Amino acid sequence: MKHVISIRTLLTLILAFIPRFALALDAEVLVRGLEGVTSATGLIITAQGTEKRTPVSFEQIGANTVAVRLQYSEQDIRNGALVSAIATNAKGETAFATVSELRSQETKPASLHLSRCEATPTKTPANTQQLVLFERLVELRKQRREVKMQELQEALTEELAAKLSKLEAHFGYEYESPLSAQMNPVVLSQRLDQLLHSIETFNLHRNSQ
């Protein structure tokens, strides 16, 4: 029972700063009012802040419109995330896509296809203010992640990691490296989740006898 509580605590810490699990779904948003786009960045917006996400692609589809395609996960949907994007041209002008709701694979096509019509160029001062706001939100999210990383390193001590690694071996799991707080957060969460499931299944079987 003690190990179950420890693993759940560790998983809670990890999930707090992992931005996403496997990115399997595609979203496409349109940034209007900007010519000659040279770069674009996807934005995933949740109550915890805004995360910048490198787009899969961006394509100029009209004189003033660019389609930005980025990936997201079911975890993003469970977090109530919204999607947007910001594009920049060679002059340093910026424009934002309309914020849209992310939906699951079952309720929509693979992409959030929006109407691809041309738009009148927009003024940039308001967009600049939005960019500053987004930058602040991203920085706050980064700071929260750093705090959670520190908490994880303090919680997953070498002694606890060694005990959990022995439990993994007991349940037949074989890995190239033992558990540690320095592991890739996604890999660490997957291994802890597997171990938690094995312990709970074992306890359930033992209590039923």
What is the per-residue pLDDT across 149-207, written as a single tens digit (0 to 9) for each?
777 778 888 888 888 888 888 888 888 888 888 887 778 888 888 888 887 787 777 77
97 beta partners:
31
The span from the CA of 94 to the CA of 104, in Å, is 29
Please check the confidence at residue 115 and state whether its pLDDT lies above 50: no
d(CA 139, CA 50): 9
Quick check: 45 and 56 in contact, CB under 8 A?
Answer: no
Q: What's the whole-number mean pLDDT along residues 106-116?
A: 41
Mean of pLDDT values over 93-110: 69
CB 34, CB 93: distance < 8 Å:
yes
What pLDDT is recorded for position 53? 87
Residue whose token pair is 């959030």? 112
pLDDT at 180: 87
Q: Is residue 138 assigned to a domain? A: no
Share of the chain above pLDDT 70, in %: 70
CA atoms of 24 and 71, how far apart (whole Å): 7
Is the domain of 55 the same as that of 101? Answer: yes
Co-location of 33 and 108 in the same domain? yes
Residue with the larger pLDDT of the pair 140 and 20:
140
The answer to the question of residue 185 being in a domain is yes
Q: Specify whether 197 is located in the same domain as 174.
A: yes
Do 113 and 172 share a structural domain? no
Whether residue 101 sits in one domain with residue 75:
yes
- Establish if 155 belongs to a structural domain: yes
> Domain residues for 180?
2-18+151-208
For 59-88, what is the mean pLDDT?
A: 85
**Among the listed ranges 94-98, 130-134, 181-185, which one has the minimum average pLDDT value?**
130-134
Mean pLDDT of the chain: 75
Tokens of 23: 């990115």
Q: How many C-beta neighbours within 10 Å does residue 78 have?
A: 10
pLDDT at 44: 87
What's the CA angle centered on 56, arms 22 and 148, to 5 degrees?
A: 45
Range name among 24-33, 68-77, 103-112 with the lowest pLDDT average: 103-112
| Domain CATH code at residue 103 | 2.60.40
Could you tell me if 46 and 115 lie in one domain?
yes
Whether residue 193 sits in one domain with residue 111: no
Question: Is this prediction's pTM over 0.85?
Answer: no
| Whether residue 31 sits in one domain with residue 10 | no
Is residue 63 included in any domain, yes or no? yes
| Pairing of β 82-89 and β 94-96 | antiparallel
Provide the number of structural domains found in the chain. 2
Instruction: Centre a 10 Å sphere on the Cβ of residue 85 and count the other Cβ atoms it contains.
Output: 29
Give a yes or no: residue 70 inside a domain: yes
